Structure formats: structure tokens, C-alpha cells
Amino acid sequence: MYRYFGFGSNNLPSTMKALRQIDVRPDCVTAAILPNYQLKFYNDAAFVRPTTTTTTTTTTTTNENEKENKSNDSSVVHGVLYTLTDDEFAKVGQTEGVPFGYRWQSVLVYQYKGDGKQAGKDCLSLSSSLSSSNNINNNYTNNNSNNNTDTLVSSSAVKAYTLVETRLRKETPPSPQYLGLIQEGARLWKFDSTYQEQLASIKTKGNGISGILLQVAEKATGTKRTYMIDGYDEDD
């Protein structure tokens, strides 16, 4: 079995089913956050690139927290953690162009249940706190005074594989259609609000066919856009 962290159009499990022909299982998919990386684009190809910024939080003054939080928010990538069979993992690599356009990179991610506010950041804060207490492998309990028990899944880091560039590329803006798929996944999974704001601020260029291709594939396979979205509420 493999853990795969998707962050581009694979934020939508319907992409995995309709385009990559992988049946996602309900207990094998969840929102997750990758610290110390940033989301980058080369046209309509998304990739993550490591940063030198450490993603931690402090409990000092309000102004200091605001400054640090702003820095931290730009040094994380939100995405979806999939648990895949060997064959499914190989299929992702084949359809994503590994090893030509991408290569696999081992990373540590943290699972969480989105609330559209800051559940991902809270998960990292808890992990940092437990790490300093030598309790990094403890799962979250109901001792949090902010009543976040429904948003945090685990404070333990999970080893996963994600896609990074095979060579350093000059960044180029994505099309609005491709970025729109990422934003839609972020909204449905209820990624942190600051991350959704960052996505909304990304400049786009030209036109793309990513959205059309997914729509055609969804129609052909009878796949709904909200397929396997954790906690999705049609009344939202």
C-alpha cells in the first residue's frame, strides 16, 4: 500500500476516478497538510517545491502571532491524502508523466478534517506542541479548549509520496480553468480559509482544457464532482 498526497486537480477524487480510473474508498481519503513546501505552477501543471521556512506557531503576543502565522500560511500546501494499492499508485505515476514531467518525493503530511477556518493549521500547532513534549505519536484527545475535536484527525506525521518537478523550471501562471479545479477541491474539502485566499490571489493566464476534460470524463463514467468528498454537505 502507498500513501499519495495530491494537491492539484487531484484534490478532487472525481479526477482520480474519472480520469485515472481509480476507485477511491471512503476510508482511504482525507484532507491533509504538507508543511515547509509551496504550491507552484508550470502552465497547467502544479508541483510543490520545498521552502526554508519552518511551519511552527508560538504563544507569545497577539501581534507576534499574527506576523508568524502570515509567514507560516505561505509555507504549507493543503491537499488530499489517498491510500492506494500498488497498482493504483503505479497508475497515478503513469497518468501524471513520471519520471519525465514529475518524480516521486517522500514527504511527511498531517491529516485533518477541514472546517473552512484553520483546522489544518491547528493540526500542525498540536503536532509541534506534542513534538516538544516528546509525544509526537499521540493522537488528538478531547482536551482542546477550542472544541476542535471534529476537525483534527491525528497529530502524527504520515509518510506519503507526492509529485515534484524533475528539474527546476521557471514558473508560469496556470489557466483559470485549471486553477478553478484546485479551488473547487479546496472549497469542498474545506481547506483553511487562508489557503483558499492564497489560491484566489494566484494570477492566471490564457485558457485551458482541464475543466472540460474532467467534465467529459465525469459524464462518461457517471462520476459526480463531489465523489468521496469527506463531510460534503449539499446544503452548504
Q: Using one digit for the tens of pLDDT, what is the confidence trace for 153-183?
A: 556 899 999 999 988 888 999 999 999 999 9
pLDDT (0 to 100) of residue 152: 56
pLDDT band at 72 (very low <50, low <70, confident <90, very high): low
pLDDT (0 to 100) of residue 13: 93
* Nearest by Cα to 28 from 61, 54, 46, 2: 2
Binding residue ranges for substrate: 4-9
pTM: 0.80
Binding residue ranges: 4-9
pLDDT (0 to 100) of residue 29: 93
Residues 6+ apart with CB under 8 A from 70: none
Mean pLDDT to the nearest integer, 49-71: 49
Assign residue 76 a region (left: φ > 0; alpha: ψ between -120 and 50; beta: otherwise): beta
pLDDT (0 to 100) of residue 43: 85
- CA–CA separation, 235 and 113 (whole Å): 18
pLDDT band at 221 (very low <50, low <70, confident <90, very high): very high
Which of 74-88, 196-210, 217-231 is least confident? 217-231
149 has pLDDT over 50: no
Pick the more confident residue, 183 or 152.
Answer: 183
Residues labelled catalytic: 96
Q: Answer yes or no: CATH 3.40.1410.10 is held by domain 2-221.
A: no
Pick the more confident residue, 74 or 71.
Answer: 74
